[in-house]
Structure 1
Amino acid sequence: MLIALLLAVATVPAGQMFACTPIRVWDGDGPVWCREGPRIRLGGIAAREIDGSCRRGQPCPRASGIAARDALVRLLGGARGRSGTGHILVTGPRLQCRSTGNAKGDRTGAWCSAPRIGDLSCAMIATGTVLRWQRYAAGHCR
């Protein structure tokens, strides 16, 4: 029933725990498409856009958007191909996530972790390709 509910809503309500099996990635902070339905914007981090730009009002890392995306893809087990829309296809480990609510559009902001990776946002910061976004980090990744 919970899976059906997640598939029926655009975003997972704040505070809700949910599973995500990553199937595709756009850039270094998301969205990450989950087999179960949600599209995740990783919590507490900022990456450059794929075109190399940074959004106004957010931290702007030195690493390119492509480098950040590729780091996330590696953490999720590596690329398995590319979709017709340019997304990188992955067969990632099952993540356990906690929603922080709507992250604009049909994306769910979330903190996610997996046994081999630990906290995915913190692991991304450790790659040096994204920056901790203090405004949203809420004590994570210190």
Structure 2
Amino acid sequence: MRFQTFAAALVLILLLAGWLSLDDDRAAKSLSDTPAPSLTAPPLTAVRADADLSCRVAAVHDGDTLRCQDGARIRLHAVAARETDETCAPGHPCPAASAAAATRALKRLTEGRDLACRTTGRSYDRVTAICWTPDGTEVNCAMIRSGTTVVWPRYNRQTPLCA
């Protein structure tokens, strides 16, 4: 809750700073005439009001797990990819695409980039999260749309992807 309050205050400060930097004609415009930003819309910058974790991607482990420069490991929320040995665990969703293809897709999308992430839980020694690239692309959704991974329905119910 503290983070959400802090994030909301930060967004308001950034909006006010931008408004104050406008020329006199535009500065006269009332803040009430300016629509409030939507937290569900893709961000215009890497800052997301609902993000609680930043990650500079140092390495991609497989099609649904990455490692940040600070050592944190992130498992993409509600995304299932084949294991690196090309198997799928019993009872887990199993995409048709290879593990190698999913790993390549996640590397192209994230490696070396700064991600804004919202944690959704834990899985073994990893945080589970929904992450966004600086241009606002939802990484989890992009991986599913790439066809290299699939949605894991069991985890997608409470916090759905591609929203």
Is the partner of 1:108 in helix, strand or coil?
A: strand
TM-score, with structure 1 as normaliser: 0.73
Please identify runs of 4+ aligned residues in structure 1 that moved more than 6 A: none
- The answer to whether the aligner puts 1:119 opposite 2:138 as a matched pair is yes
Q: Aligned residue pairs: how many?
A: 112
Displacement of 1:139 in angstroms is 2.1
Q: 8 Å contact 1:63–1:129 — kept in the other structure?
A: yes
More contact order relative to length (CA 8 Å, sep ≥ 6):
1
- The answer to whether the aligner puts 1:21 opposite 2:56 as a matched pair is yes
Displacement of 1:129 in angstroms is 0.3
Q: Percent identity?
A: 44
Higher helix residue share:
2
- The answer to whether the aligner puts 1:35 opposite 2:69 as a matched pair is yes
Where in structure 2 are there 5+ consecutive unaligned residues? 1-49
Where in structure 1 are there 5+ consecutive unaligned residues? 1-14, 77-89
Q: 1:101 aligns with which of 116, 121, 124?
A: 121
Task: Give matches, 1:74-85, under 5 Å.
Answer: 74-76=108-110
Q: In 1, distance between residues paired with 2:148 and 2:51?
A: 28
Higher strand residue share:
1
Deviation track 1:117-141 (CA, whole Å, cap 9, x = no partner) reads 5110001011100001111122222
Bigger radius of gyration among the two: 2
CA RMSD in angstroms comes to 1.7
Give the letter for the 1:139 counterpart.
P
Q: 8 Å contact 2:114–2:134 — kept in the other structure?
A: no
TM-score, with structure 2 as normaliser: 0.64
